[in-house]
Structures are given as structure tokens and as C-alpha cells.
Structure 1
Amino acid sequence: DIEAVLASVQLLQPLPGGRQRAAALLDEYLKNHPNDLRALKAQGLLQIASEQNHAAITTLNKVQSQEPDNPVTLYTLAQLHFQQRNYAAATSSLKRYLALPADPQHDPGNAWLFLAEIAQAQADLPAAIEALESVPPTSRQHFEAQVLRATLLARQQHRPEAGMAALQGLKPASEEQRQMVVVARAQILRHAKRFNEAYRLLDKALKTQKDPTDLLYDHAVAAEGIGRFDIAEKDLRRLMKAHPDEANAYNALGYMLADRNVRLPEALELIEKANRLLPDNPHILDSLGWVYFRTGRIDDAIAIFQKIWLRLPEAELGTHYGEVLWAKGNREAARAVWRETQKIDPDNKLLRDTLQRLDVKL
């Protein structure tokens, strides 16, 4: 009886070893009922929760063969393919999702933003910009998409002015949207290595915001960019005091300490706290791997980077992962990761500096 099976699966999952028992129960049921949609969907969810992405893709493909126009299945398949770096399959699933009849429950803006993210992962800025331009004006994500488009235009044309002009044409309708524009301007300036201008922009905005804590994180990043770690630390501690559950503040300060190779026990404590507040976040795990590396726990660092590299194909993470592999003596594996990183962001400063410091030629 499928009702009894699903009820048992629900009860088992929170228990120690419960996922394995739930999986065995579903496997047994599906032997006799291989096309039962509810069982297949439950199996797919269980596989995702257990990080068995390959198996989940196989299961959800079976679901899709019976429900080809199920938006949840298509979107989930896109996410799983993206995590496996199968960008073509992820794009295909999203395009099928976007071709479905309009449904008020599914904002197409999220899918277009996701397509832009996939294009960025392949360093295809024109495709990313095209996806962002496709977000309909009625979408809740439209303003965010236009802000992101401006930052990508600046990178594509190697002209910050292009991005600034695009931002100038936007009409923010709320304090949150005005803040998004300020942060985007600062990002464009930082990417153009105009760190002092970025800091001055955020410093001015910080003094005029109704709630200055909203900009403290970006102000801290800008302060670090001009070598003012003292200001960055002050900002982040102020943010922690105002919002004790703000995981990104603990993570940022911990990472800054680890990157400077100072106060490493404190850095580890801060990053572990961030990880408790926001478990399984790939950016926080990147910091955790980096502080493990700094404290000599190379094998622990490699284990973390192996886990998240497929999920977060970003230049900073790839640069870190490569350096940890290099330190371990896995030189060819390190080069392979760095080459992949170079494809993602050919102009990445951290990667260039790391290769130069280690005297590595790819």
C-alpha cells in the first residue's frame, strides 16, 4: 500500500539510519510498482537529501517521462544537472520549464536568473546578459535582473561606465532596491580595481541609510579591499551585534583572518559558528576548507573542497582547491582544477596572484 509506505518513509527519515531504511523500503516497493509516480517522487527527494545526485537524476527522469510538463520536476532536474556541471542538460530542462504555459505559482524570472547563472559558470557573458534581459517586467525578479545585467555589462565591455549607465536608468521603488543599486555600483568599481572609489561610495551610503546595518557587510568588503582590515573587522562585529544570527558576518571575518594567516583559532571558531548557523552553505564550507588548510589539516580541507567544487564552480573556490591539492603534492589535479577555474573567470586576480606566487604555469 503506497500510503503506508510513504507514511513509513516520513517517519523513518529523522531517525538514525532512517534514510537508508526508508530508501530500502521504497526500493522494495518500486520492484513491484516500478512506475508508481508518488513512490518515484519520494525516492527522488530522498536521494537528493542523501546527496545521491546521479541516482536522483535517473529517478526524476522516470518521473518526467510520465509527467513531461511537471514544472517542479523540470526545475529540480536543472538544479541537479547544474550541480553536476552538465550545463547543456541544465539549460535544456530550464528552457522546457520556460516553454510551459504561464502559471502564477511559477515566476519565470527565477528560471531566467538561473539560466544567467549557468551562462556565467561557462564564462558566457553575452548569454547571461541575454537571459537577464528576458526576465519579464511583471516578474518579481525584474529589478534584480536589471541590476545584475548592469554589473555584467561592465565586465563584458571592460568599461565600468557601461554598467554605471545601465544602473542610472533604473528607478528603484524601495529602500531595498536603492541599496541593491549602491552595492552593484561598488561591485563594478571593485571589479575595475577602483577600490578607493568603491569604499567612498559605500562609506557615503552607510551614513545616509535609515538602517546602516544593511550595508555593513559590503562596507567591510570594500574596506578590506583598500587594506583597512581594522575598519572591516569593526563593521563585521557591529553587524554581528545587531544581527547575532547573521552567518555571513562570522564567515567573512573568519575568512579574512584565515586569509591573513593570523588568529587562526579565532578564525576557525568564527567559521564553525557560521557553519552552525547556515549549515551546508558552499561559501562557508569554502572558508572552512581554507582555515583547515591554514592550520595544517590538509586532508580535511581536500575532503571539503571535493564536496563543494562540483556544487559551486566559482573562481575563488577553485583557486583555493587547487592550492590545497598543490600543497598535498597532487600537482596534476591542482593544474586541472586551476584550468577549469581559468575557464570560469579568465581575469580572476586571486587565481593570477596564486599561480604567480607558486610559480605555476598552466
Structure 2
Amino acid sequence: MTEMAGAGVSKFKLVWGGFILAAALGACAANSASSERHALPDSFQDAGGTAEMFPSSYLGEYLAGREALREQDASAALEYFEDALRVRSDDGVLLNIALQAALSKGDLKRAISLAPKVIEQDEDGSTAYLVLAINALHQKDYDGARSNLEKTAENGFNVLLKPLLMSWIKLGQGNVDGAFAELNALDKYNGFEALKQYQSALLSDVSGDRKLADQNYQAALSGPSGRAVRLVQAYGSYLDRTGRRNDVKKLFDDYIERFPLSPTIRLELAELDAGRPLTPIAKDPIEGAAEALYSAASIIGQERAVGVAATYIYFALQLKPDFPMARMLLAETAEDRDKWQEAFDLYSQINPNSAYGKNAQIRTAWVAYRLGRTEEAKERLEAVANSYPEDIEALVVLADVGRDSKNWDEAARNYGRAIERLPEFHERHWSLFYARGIAYEQSKKWPLAEADLLKSLELQPDHPQVLNYLAYSWVDRNENLEKAKDMLIKAVSLRPRDGFIVDSLGWLYYRLGEYDDAVAQLEKAVSLEAADPTITDHLADAYWRVGRREEARYQWQRALWLDPSEEQIPVIREKLKSGLKDDIKAQK
């Protein structure tokens, strides 16, 4: 995720037991029935042949819609279900699954029209009540929002969302104490302390209770949510509105010192320098509810429930259309689902002058590359790099495009352009030298690669990836074996479950002629990375050296089944045919 995270989102984990994705959004179409029989339209349910007959296209539309929804093509799924509903408009299962498709597509207008029909057919239509609650909130009908939200289920992700939304609804009704009391429901589950602190601070801010807001913002800032950019942004706006601009400057400067690349706080500082007032995160309960939905989506997205997260973001954008942070997160969920054109369109909607403008332009370029429009992607990234001459992000992504397409010379050149823009090197820059070192090594420029890998190790002395790549390269070149041994032993101690690093240590022992140790390490590596042809090939070589010839041949054959590179195939085939030569230095 980018710098979109809500209060302490990276710290949150949905750790309570027993909940599964099918319970998301309360009772959705997939779990609204209590049996397999009720999970099908009525026309499927008559085993005795007495069901009312429908045109064959009805069943076809339903099945096609289910398949489209399974393939995450919500637009096509909704069209199929709409066609089926024209034949059987009162089928509860069809209505439920059509609602699910509408929400997946982000078609809230259609979801709102379907929701009452779902409720008519399904008294447990939790998702439908949630849709109606959000729509009532949008219309500032707090009583209607509360009535509908109260009817949603107390399960799945609703245990997170329901108290958040209800707190803002009660604030809208003027029940301030009730609003704060709702958040206490979050105490039942581990991991929500930071979110509760953040939402409490926002509630007290919007309610106008300055004393309580001071107290809650300070508590949140000193707690687990204190590193969250959204909290710092909200608190800064609050301090600005209450006449404490010097405190705002210190707050933001302290944050930039810890996170120097934060585009959000840098833009806020620019607003301060220009003498303009800072925009509050939430001006009223409606925008507070949008912020709650955004926070919930951020947390759920961490659990890979990206479909549910996307629905919550659509809800947030219904309440607060001018919400670029939410739109960015929605684009990221589209990327997570490999919906590249959808992600491209969403990123393109972000105002380039907003705090997220540069990041959106860079992500748009990357998505263009994933869509196969490589030249367009490069042109976009060059344009961003030219617009921000002191920034390296666009150049790094440009280099990543080269690396992903295995254009190693181009990748190395663009990583170099990024490095040249740095006035000085810090620990965090290790990855640039590491990436360029890999590009040099892949393009057969070992002296340059070795220099970059050593520089990366200087900036990050104990990073297991750097230790492994440099040491393995030495082992493969039969150089600096004793030094490589020390480095790989350290790397394995840091990452004992990384099969590739364990393989490097095993291959080192093989190079040193310590075959029994090589077998022990390489067997462990294969158990960790069973589908890697190179590790399997290494194990076969080690088996051969200790006299386990049949096992060696089996592992070479298995390596061929695991899709090795074109360069590896003839080498492995020759070993299958003739075994290994006596000179182990000739073997790689």
C-alpha cells in the first residue's frame, strides 16, 4: 500500500477467531441461505419436476452471471442477473446475488434500488440494510440511517464497521455521549485500539469539544496510531483551526524528520507556508462516516478481502465524492484484483495537483505498463521525472519497468539516474544500489555489480537479501568462498525459512567439497522451495557427489519438470545422461 493508510492500519490484524470471508458485509448472497437448496434460484429446487418452467435463457443467464462474478467481472455479472430478473423478479437468491454484483461494480444507484426488494424476500438481508443505511446517511437522514444499520448482522466485518458508522450517526442525531459509547464495542477484539483512538479524536473534533479533542488527539498521537499520516494530518488541521499554527509546524516537521518522503505532510507544509488554512479531515458527521469507511477498508484490505474493501470505499465516495485518498485506495484494490484498466481509470481521476497527484501519475504509468503499453508507460514516467527534477520515484519505477521486462541495461541506467539525484546516501537507499547491482550482474557487468552490492551492504550491513546475493554470486564464480561462507551463515540465521538463502549456503558447501553439509542444507532448501528448478538441480548435484546416484537422477528429472530456463535445460539433460564430471569446479 502507498501512504494511504489510516490510523495505524499496518498494525491492525483481524485476529478474532471463527470469521470467514463469506461473512463479510453481514449476510450477503453467498451466505444468506441456510442450506444448499436455498442457495439456488427456485427453478433449480424442484426435484419432482413440478417447478414452474422458465425460458432456458433464464438458467443460462444465472449461471453465466455466477461465473462472471467468480471471475471478478462484476459488470458482466450484473447484466446477466438483470436479464434473469426480468424473467423472475421476485427470486430472493437472484436479487441477493444481483445486489452483490452491483456492489462489486460500484453501481450504488442500482444497489439502492435492489435493496428494498432483497429485504422483501429475505428478512435477514443484512447487506441490503447496510446499503440503505449508507444512502440515508448520504441524505443526512440520521434516523433512517440508524434504523437500517441496527438491522444489520453482528458478524463478519460488521463487528468493525457497525460501531464506527453508528458512532457518527448518533453524533449526527446530537447524541454525543452515545457516539463515544458505540466505539467501546471495538474493545471486544484485539488490534483496534489505534482505530478507536483515532475515531475518538475525530468525533471530539467534529463535536466541537475542544478540551476533549485536545485530550483525545494527544492520546492518539502517543499511542499505536501515532505514526499514521492520517492522524497527523487531522491533528494538524485541528491545531490550525484553533489558532496554534506554530504547533502545527512543529508537528509536521517532526513527522517529516521521521518520514521524509511523505507527500501528504509535505503538501500540508506548503499550504502552511502559503498562509492558507488547512482543510479538516471531517467537517461533519457525514464526512466522519466516510473517514470511518475508509479506515475500515484499509484494515480489511490488509486481510486481502479486497472485494469487501472496495465496496466500503464506494460507500465512502458516495458520502464524500471529493476524497482522493479513498480513490487511490480503490485503485489499489483494483490492482490487487488484476483489474488494470479499472485501476488506470481510477488513478487518472486523481487531481495531479493534490497530495496524491504525483503518486497517482506514477501508478498510472505502471498500470499502463501492465496493460502492455510499455512506451506509453515510459513516456509518462519520464514526464513525471522531468516535472520533479529532485525526486527519484518516477525514475525508480522506470527502472523497475526495465527490470520487469528483463531489459537489464535500461534498468541499470535508470537506477543510476535515480542515484545521481541523491545529494547524499542514507541507510534507506541500500535498495537502489542492490537493484542496480542485480541489473549489472544480469547484464554480465560483474565489476560494476560487485561494487554496487558492496555499497548496498555498507548502507545495510546485515540485510539478508544483500548478503545472500553477493555471497551467492561469489560462490557461483568460485571466488571469496570463505568470506561468502560467513555471510551466508549470517543470512541463514536471519532468514532460516528462506529457501533461496538456504540454497546459497548449501551450494557454498558444495563448492567447498563439503558434500554431506551441502546435502543437509539443500534438502532443507528444497523442502522450503519445492517448485524451484535451480534448487532442485543443486540437490541432485550434491546427491551425486555423495554417491546417491538414483536420487540424483530423479531430482534432475524433477528439475526438468519444474520449467527451468532455456540455458539450464541442455545442462540438466546432459547430467541425466552422463552424470557429473570429476572436477566440481566445472559444475554450476
Whether the 8 Å contact between 2:534 and 2:559 is mirrored in structure 1 is no
Q: Is structure 2 residue 351 aligned with structure 1 residue 132? A: no
Alignment partner, residue 178 of structure 1: 394
Match of 1:297 among 501, 514, 519: 514
Question: Once the 2 structures are TM-superposed, how far is the Cα of residue 179 of structure 1 from its aligned partner?
Answer: 5.5
2:299 corresponds to which of 100, 105, 116: 105
1:245-324 residue pairs with structure 2 within 5 A?
A: 245-312=462-529, 313-324=531-542
Alpha-carbon separation, structure 2, partners of 1:165 and 1:176: 19
Aligned counterparts of 2:374 and 2:574: Cα–Cα separation in 1: 32
Q: Which amino acid aligns with 1:314?
A: D
> Cα offset for 1:338?
0.9
Larger radius of gyration: 2
**For the residues of structure 1 that align with 2:374 and 2:540, how far apart are their CA atoms?**
32
Alignment-derived partner of residue 239 in structure 1: 456
Is residue 2:208 matched to residue 1:208? no
- Provide, for residues 76-101 of structure 1, a one-character-per-residue CA deviation record: whole Å limited to 9, x for no partner: xxxxxxxxxxxxxxxx9xxxxxx986
- 2:553 matched to which residue of 1? 332
1: distance between equivalents of 2:400 and 2:568?
23
- 253-262 or 332-341: which moved more? 332-341
Measure the CA separation in 2 of the matches of 1:148 and 1:302.
Answer: 43
Q: How much does 1:257 deviate? A: 0.8
Is the alpha carbon distance of 1:144 and 1:247 closer, same or farther for their aligned partners in structure 2, counting shifts above 3 Å? farther
Instruction: Give 5+ residue unaligned stretches, structure 2.
Output: 1-14, 25-69, 71-103, 105-155, 158-295, 307-334, 348-359, 579-588
TM superposition shift of 1:265:
1.3
Quick check: 1:226 aligned with 2:443?
yes
Measured after TM superposition, the shift of residue 165 of structure 1 is: 4.2
Give a deviation string over 1:11-69, Cα, whole Å, max 9, x none.
xxxxxxxxxxxxxxxxxxxxxxxxxxxxxx99xxxxxxxxxxxxxxxxxxxx86x9675
Q: CA deviation at 1:268?
A: 0.9
Q: Please, what TM-score do these two structures have when normalized by structure 2?
A: 0.34
**How many angstroms apart in 1 are the aligned matches of 2:375 and 2:454?**
31
TM-score scaled to structure 1, two decimals?
A: 0.52
Distance 1:315 1:147, change over 3 A: farther
> What is the alpha-carbon distance in structure 2 between the residues aligned to residue 198 and residue 281 of structure 1?
26
Separation in 2, partners of 1:340, 1:145: 38
Q: 3-state SS of the aligned residue for 1:280? A: coil
Distance 1:305 1:195, change over 3 A: same
Q: Name the CA shift for 1:197/1:183 in 2 (closer, same or farther; >3 Å).
A: closer
Distance 2:566 2:461 in 1: 32
Q: In 1, distance between residues paired with 2:575 and 2:433?
A: 34
User: Any residues of structure 2 matched to 1:1-150 within 5 Å, and which?
Assistant: 69=22, 104-107=298-301, 110=304, 131-133=337-339, 147=366, 150=369
Distance 1:237 1:67, change over 3 A: closer
The 1:180–1:207 alpha-carbon spacing in structure 2 relative to 1, beyond 3 Å, is: closer
Deviations 1:313-334, CA, capped at 9 Å, x for gaps: 3344344334434545224322
TM-superposed deviation, 1:104: 4.0
Post-superposition offset of 1:105: 1.9
Query: What CA distance in whole angstroms lies between the structure 2 residues aligned with 1:164 and 1:109?
Result: 34
Q: Secondary structure at the match of 2:466?
A: helix
Post-superposition CA distance 1:300-320 (Å, at most 9, x none)? 333333333344333443443
**AA of the residue aligned to 1:340:** W
Contact 2:489–2:505 under 8 Å retained in 1 = yes
Change in Cα spacing, 1:279 to 1:197, as seen in structure 2 (3 Å) is same
CA distance in 1, matches of 2:364, 2:487: 32
Distance 2:523 2:363 in 1: 31
SS across alignment from 1:105: helix
1:183 and 1:218 in contact (8 A); partners too: no
Q: CA deviation at 1:227?
A: 2.9
What does residue 88 of structure 1 align with?
Answer: none
Which of 1 and 2 has higher RCO (CA within 8 Å, sep 6+)?
2
Match of 1:36 in 2: none
Match of 2:562, SS? helix
CA distance in 2, matches of 1:271, 1:150: 36
Alignment identity in percent? 20
Structure 2: distance between partners of 1:228 and 1:263:
18
Shift of 1:276: 2.8
Q: Give the counterpart letter for 2:394 in structure 1.
A: R
Partner of 2:403: 187
Deviations 1:153-184 (A, max 9, x none): 77xxxxxxx54545655798996753651342
8 Å Cα contact 2:475/2:481 also seen in 1? yes
- Give, in whole Å, the separation in 1 of the partners of 2:559 and 2:464: 28
Q: How many residues align?
A: 245
CA contact (8 A) 2:492 2:502 kept: yes
**Structure 1 pair 306–205 and aligned structure 2 pair: CA distance change class (3 A):** same
Which segments of 5 or more consecutive residues in structure 1 lack a partner in the other structure? 1-40, 43-62, 72-91, 93-98, 113-128, 155-161
Q: For residues 149 and 322 of structure 1, what CA distance do their matches in structure 2 show?
A: 42
Residue 402 of structure 2 aligns with an amino acid whose one-letter code is A
C-alpha RMSD of matched pairs (Å): 4.6
